[in-house]
Every structure is written in C-alpha cells, then in structure tokens.
A and B are shown apart, each in its own frame.
Chain A
Amino acid sequence: MSTLLALAERIENTPFAVALAESRYAFPVVEGVHLIGLALSVGLIFLTDLRLVGVLFKDVPVPDVLRQLRPYVLIGFAAVFVSGALLFWAEASMLVENPAFPFKLLFIALAGANALYFEWVTAKRIPFRAAQARNAGVASLVLWTLVIVCGRLIPYMQLS
C-alpha cells in the first residue's frame, strides 16, 4: 500500500471524518456549499474572462472589472476551499485513488498560475496589451472549464 493511500485512510478514519461522511444532512450541505462557492468564484472569473475577450461589459474598463469583482471571487474561493477540504477529509482514500482527482488539482494549479501571471505581469503594464489580456482570458476559460469537468467526473471514475 502506498504511503499516500495509507495517509488518506488515516485521515478519513478520524472521528470527525467518519461523522461527516455518515451524516445525513451535513455532507450534502457541504457539497452544496462547494457548488455555490464554485458558481461565485469561477462564475465571476468566467465573466471577467469574457470582459477580457471583449464579449461582455465593454463599457466598464478592465481594471475596474478586476478590482471590483475581486472580493467576491475571493469569498467564493474561501467557500470552495473550505468545503473542498471537508469533502477530502471525509473521502480521502476514494479521492487519492480517483483518476479524475489529480487532473482536477493540476488544472486548478495551472489556472492559478495563469491568473497570477496576469495579475502580476500583464495587468501591471500600463497600458497593458489587449492581445495579451485576451489570451489570458481564453486560457482561464479553458482551464477552469477543465477543472469543472474533472471535478464532476470524480463520482463516475471511482475505482471501488
């Protein structure tokens, strides 16, 4: 047995994880919070991307869109991250063995890197280049889409 799997089994056998996994209402509610957090964070990022691509809110300057939506994106991410950690806690061994899960994490990392590069490099240039911003928007749309696809495939790819 791999070390990772052994660790995952120890995590999900803690009393809190067992209680959460077996609870009638808490587990579905945490799943629901994960979805709502996703709709808020990734949903608002999608709208920002569509602004960068030049489809939406063309009257609002890009820096305004970025700055004004950021707090709500972060609130959404906080909800996704906390609920996601709880879901992992409750189902750790299923997730480390699931083929879709590492891809979900990979695409989250790539989407995060793309966002940070955009924030720290592309958007810092004044005036920033529209083509570069558009590319960042397209990359973000594609990567976050892959995150959602991999996430929703998790229950379809359970090995056990």
Chain B
Amino acid sequence: MSYADVLAQLQGSALAHAISKSNHLIGATLQILHIFGFVLLLSSITVISLRLLGLTFTNQPVGRVARDGTRLIWIGLALAVATGTLMFVSGARHYGYNWAFEMKMGLLLAAVLTQVLLFQRVVSVDFPRPALARASAVLSMTLWFAVGLAGRMIGFI
C-alpha cells in the first residue's frame, strides 16, 4: 500500500466522513480545541522557561514552578494531539502533501524529544546548572514557537 493509498483510505473512512461531511461546526470545534491545547502548552512552557532564564519567580525553586506547569504541558499537548489527529484523518490528502504540515511534524518531533530528553530532566531538580537551564529554555521555546508558526501556515499553502 503506497502513501497515497493510506491517505485516501484515511480520508474515506467513516470517522473522516463523520468529521468533514456532517456539519462544518465539528471541524471548527476541533480547530478551537486544538488552539486551546496549544495555548495551554506554550504558556506553561513559557512560564517554566522564564524561571529557568532567571526572569520570573526567582524566589521559587525551579522544581516547584515546573511541577505545576508540567501538568498543564501534558494536558495541553494531549488536547492538541487528540484534536490534531482527528483533523488529519478528516483531511488526510490535503495535509499529506502540504510542506508546512511536514515541517510542523518534523518540528513537533524535535520539540517532543527535547521536552522529554532534556527539558523535563533539567526541571526535575530544584536548582539546575544555570547554563544548562538557559540552553534548554531557549531551545524548547524556539521549537514550540516554530511548531505553532508552521501549524498556522498549513491552511494557507
């Protein structure tokens, strides 16, 4: 089965039809929830990153700021991935050949790997090494901002 067949199968599935053919407000609702997930994700990463950079909540240990923020990161990511998957299935042939979508997936992979392998390890201690803390904050924020930018471009390609 080729890539094109897989995309066609997905877009022709009952699930895809339920999303795209029944009522356009279902698609709009998914888009709105996708944005909420992203806003939650990005703002909590921003708050933790600002603490890592020594710009906010400096009288609080990194670990304590991160504990509250990290829960929201995963809630936001779960919401964005769940709604994003449904959006992809409903328009697989549109997204499958969109360079902005491909770029977004590449950046997303890099951002999630950075989050799991670097960021979460750095913030798991109360006082991480400053240079490492700053580097992971900048890298993580850059990648997630780029995911958002590429994602917003998909609809205009």
Contacts and interface: CB of A to CB of B under 8 A. Distances in A.
B152 A44 contact: no
B135 to A, nearest CB: 20
Interface string B64-86: 11001100100000000000000
B153 A152 contact: no
Secondary structure dominating the interface of B: helix
Contacts of A46: 39-40, 43
A33 B50 CA distance: 20
Contacts of A149: 32
B46 A36 contact: no
Interface in A56-70: 56-60, 64-65, 68-69
Interface in A12-42: 27-29, 31-36, 38-40, 42
A24 to B, nearest CB: 9
Interface string A131-160: 000000000000001001100110010000
Contact of B50 (A29, A72, A156): A72
Secondary structure dominating the interface of A: helix
A94 B68 CA distance: 42
A99 interface: no
A148 B31 CA distance: 11
Interface residues of B, number: 37
Contacts of B60: 59-60
Contact of A56 (B36, B72, B157): B72
Interface residues of A, number: 33
Given A32-B153, A56-B68, A153-B28, A40 B43 contact: yes
29 contacts: A28-B100, A28-B156, A29-B149, A31-B152, A31-B153, A32-B149, A34-B152, A35-B152, A36-B149, A38-B35, A39-B38, A39-B39, A39-B42, A39-B43, A43-B42, A46-B40, A46-B43, A47-B44, A47-B72, A57-B65, A58-B68, A64-B59, A68-B55, A68-B56, A68-B57, A69-B56, A148-B32, A153-B28, A156-B24
